A and B are shown apart, each in its own frame.
Chain A
Amino acid sequence: MDAMTTTAVPATTTPVVGFDQVTKTYGSVRAVDGLSLRLYPGETVALLGPNGAGKSTTLDLLLGLKQPDSGSVALFGTSPREAIVAGRVGAMLQSGGLTDGVTVAELVKLACALHPRPYPVADVLARAGLTPIADRKADKLSGGQAQRVRFALATAGDSDLIILDEPTTGMDVSARQAFWATMREQADQGRTVLFATHYLEEADAIADRVLVLHRGRLLADGTAAEIKARAGARRISFDLAGGIDESALGALPSVTRIDVSGQTVRIQSADADATVHALYGLGLYPRNLEVAGLGLEQAFVAITAAEEAKQQ
């Protein structure tokens, strides 16, 4: 496992989530392949990965909806089911459906009644922004509204761990912002939050730890800044007059990728300072020099592309 960093937490703390060499296979496809990870109390963690990376399977295993072929999964040191029964976990899955013929308020009331430490129904409705549509039938909701109901069901009581699978799918921009504001409140109260997302800027903005999952394996584990650095996090571009010696430029320190088109050179570098310093050391005179940060999305693409190249 080439996970990059480990979080500095004393080994004696019981992890909120503990995956130990977990493997899950469907036919010939390894959806989760020897995954080991630990989440600790109070962390806000993003699970990033392209479609088919194993995110949903990982969350299913974590919640005990699926059983691993090998390895072990623990929540708070117990089985997932025990943790759920104890009301320690609230989860919102994309595949979680709502039943029809009942109202939003009735569904939330049910979730509150089932939780060992419930919040008042009115509070849960209000926090999820459902008060105005509390009397609407659950089968007459838009995608974003249904997502908010799932969120309400996941936060009906005082749980220690909140799991969200692509929670803002179907929400418009303002609903998305409101959603994350609510989620931050939950995290600020000391809860552990784990969310899978397609919106990489959300991982960047909200998570204090990012797990990159690809083909069922953990490719990277660190802060968003560390993930970016790992992929060659700075983009350097400049123009050069005259002939360009691409191999000399590629040999500059910390360069992870180089593109030359005409007079323009674009370099991705893990350490832009060192690269630029060495560039001048070659005796070259770059014009229009620009150094810019790489977004998490590009970093993510770079990491998964590198992994695929390695495997071929």
Chain B
Amino acid sequence: MNSLIKLELVRALRNRKFLFFTVIYPSALFLLIAGNADSHTEVDGTGLTLPTYMMVSMASFGALTATLMGNSERIAKERESGWVRQLRLTPLPGRGYVLAKTAGAAVVSLPSIVIVFAVAAVVKDVRLDAWQWLALSGAVWAGSLVFAALGVALGYLATGDAVRPITMIIYFALSMLGGLWMPTTTFPQWLQDIARWLPTHAYAALGRAIEQSQAPHAQDIAVLVVSFVLFAGGAAWLYRKDTLKA
């Protein structure tokens, strides 16, 4: 299985377009949004400066891109091309394919997170304690597993031409409504009420709690755990259905 993970990585690192969107794009977007903000303006009710606030948003966004976009389309495509069937003719365990895809996405998402942090620290003077940087990296990275599971589920749910639009709609809805691009406090109240229950919102909130040196909210943890169980369960169910059909 390690050999398949290695192959997934080689491929991901070779794909410049994918690397640009996962590794460079979140940092670029961060500079675009937070670039002109001075380092002292605080986002309402958070006690965090705009750059600090947006740093978590963009790191989460980058991890979301790497895990969700990378997996769903590739899995759908490889199911169609017969590569998944080809692998089933080898001693690779059935889960191996999905695990390799998830591991591959996780490895690519880590640099996208770290680069956003580095850009924020160097360009916008974001300062956190050492434990906060570590906890933040760990939390954002671990949380991205939720979206890796969603990516796998979508890859088994949709095929061919349908998978890209479906993934895009979910990706933009999660990014925007989850408040990764702008604070949800700018939303009308009814939209804020919806946004609070999105896994992306809980995901970014988890990172912000670390920046604020606070314990994470129980609701955010619950939303993430429930989302993970739902997405991973759905992925496992769809995967088994696909295996019987193959």
Contact = CB atoms under 8 A, between A and B. Distances in A.
A63 B7 contact: no
Interface stretch (B56-64, B80-88, B130-138, B162-170): B80-88
Contacts of A38: none
A215 interface: no
B14 interface: yes
Interface in B1-24: 2-4, 7, 10-11, 14-15
Interface residues of B, number: 23
A95 B89 contact: no
Interface of A: 60, 63, 65-67, 84-87, 89-91, 93, 95-99, 101-102, 106, 109-111, 113-116, 150, 153-154
A91 B89 contact: yes
A153 B86 contact: yes
B7 A95 contact: no
A114 B10 contact: no
Contact of A113 (B3, B15, B80): B3
Contact of B89 (A98, A116, A154): A154
Interface in B64-117: 78, 80-83, 85-86, 88-93
Given A84-B90, A91-B89, A106 B10 contact: yes
Contact of A96 (B10, B11, B82): B82
- Of residues B4, B82, B91, which shows the largest number of chain A Cβ atoms within 10 Å of its Cβ? B91
Contacts of A114: 3-4, 90-92
B149 to A, nearest CB: 21
B15 A97 contact: no
B191 interface: no
Nearest to B246: A65
20 contacts: A63-B89, A67-B244, A84-B90, A85-B93, A91-B89, A93-B85, A96-B85, A96-B89, A97-B80, A97-B82, A97-B85, A101-B11, A101-B15, A102-B7, A113-B2, A113-B3, A114-B90, A115-B91, A150-B86, A153-B90
A97 B4 CA distance: 16
A84 B90 CA distance: 6
Nearest to B244: A67
A114 B1 CA distance: 7
A98 B91 contact: no
A106 B85 contact: no
B85 A102 contact: no
A101 B81 contact: no
A54 B5 CA distance: 36
Nearest to B12: A101
Contacts of B4: 110, 114
Closest 8 CB pairs of A and B: A97-B82, A97-B81, A113-B3, A96-B86, A101-B11, A114-B90, A99-B83, A97-B83
B3 A99 contact: no
Contacts, number: 72
A84 B89 contact: yes
Nearest to A99: B83
Given A96-B82, A110-B4, A65 B15 contact: no
Nearest to A154: B89
Given A60-B246, A111-B90, 17 more contacts: A63-B88, A65-B88, A67-B244, A85-B93, A87-B91, A93-B86, A95-B85, A97-B80, A97-B82, A99-B78, A101-B11, A101-B15, A102-B11, A110-B7, A113-B2, A114-B4, A114-B91
A111 B89 CA distance: 10
A84 B88 CA distance: 9
Contacts of A93: 82, 85-86, 89
B91 to A, nearest CB: 5
Contact of B83 (A66, A91, A98, A106): A98
A151 B136 CA distance: 48
Contact of A65 (B7, B80, B85, B92): B85
Nearest to A84: B91
A90 B244 CA distance: 21
Interface in B190-236: none
Contact of B91 (A85, A97, A101, A102): A85
A106 to B, nearest CB: 6
Given A84-B90, A114-B92, A102 B78 contact: no
Contacts of B90: 84, 111, 114-115, 153
A6 B92 CA distance: 36
A42 B242 CA distance: 34
Contacts of A90: 89
Nearest to A150: B86
